Amino acid sequence: MHPDLENCKAILENENLTCVVKHGDKLLKTTDRGIKPFLLWIENGEDLQGAVAADKVVGKAAAFLMEKAGISAVYAAVLSEPAETVLKNAGIAYAFDRLVPRIQNRAGDGLCPMESAVMEMDNAETAFTALKSKMQGKAIAN
């Protein structure tokens, strides 16, 4: 695993975060869940081209956002099979601890709503538009 990715993974685990992104000397850390961090970073114009990311859970929705953001390598504690396909197709290096068929919703009784929104998609731009639209009713705030 790339040294920056190892470093992000260690920070993720040691500081009990949900996502860590390293881009040059810049380190972005969050405890926000789901796709919110990447959606905000993209919308705020954060330059993540070539950055590495460590995330607790990476499903297809998050993988599309990472592709759109320009992430070059990802570590996921939990990675879904559809997300793995997105990362492979985008040429993003990845490592994971556990591969799962899909990401469940927080209640554990169905598919994550963000995964549902992009499950049939194969394009990061289209997925970004759909996810942004899906999140608009959920007050994305900094």
What is the identity of the amino acid at 105? N
pLDDT band for position 136 (cuts 50, 70, 90)? confident
For residues 3-20, give the mean pLDDT.
95
Domain 3-135: CATH architecture, name and number where available: 3-Layer(aba) Sandwich (3.40)
Query: What integer pLDDT is reported at residue 134 of this predicted model?
Result: 86
Amino acid occupying residue 116:
S
Which residues are CB-neighbours of 129 under 8 A, at least 6 positions away? none
| SS3 of residue 19 by DSSP | strand
Amino acid at residue number 4: D
pLDDT-derived band at 141 (thresholds 50, 70, 90) equals very low
pTM of the model: 0.93
Distance CA 124, CA 80 (A): 16
Rounded to whole angstroms, the maximal C-alpha distance in the chain is: 41
Instruction: Give the model confidence (pLDDT) of 96-118 as tens digits.
Output: 999 999 999 889 899 999 999 99
Where residue 2 falls among pLDDT bands split at 50, 70, 90?
confident
* Digit-coded pLDDT (tens) for 62-97: 999 999 999 999 999 999 999 999 999 999 999 999
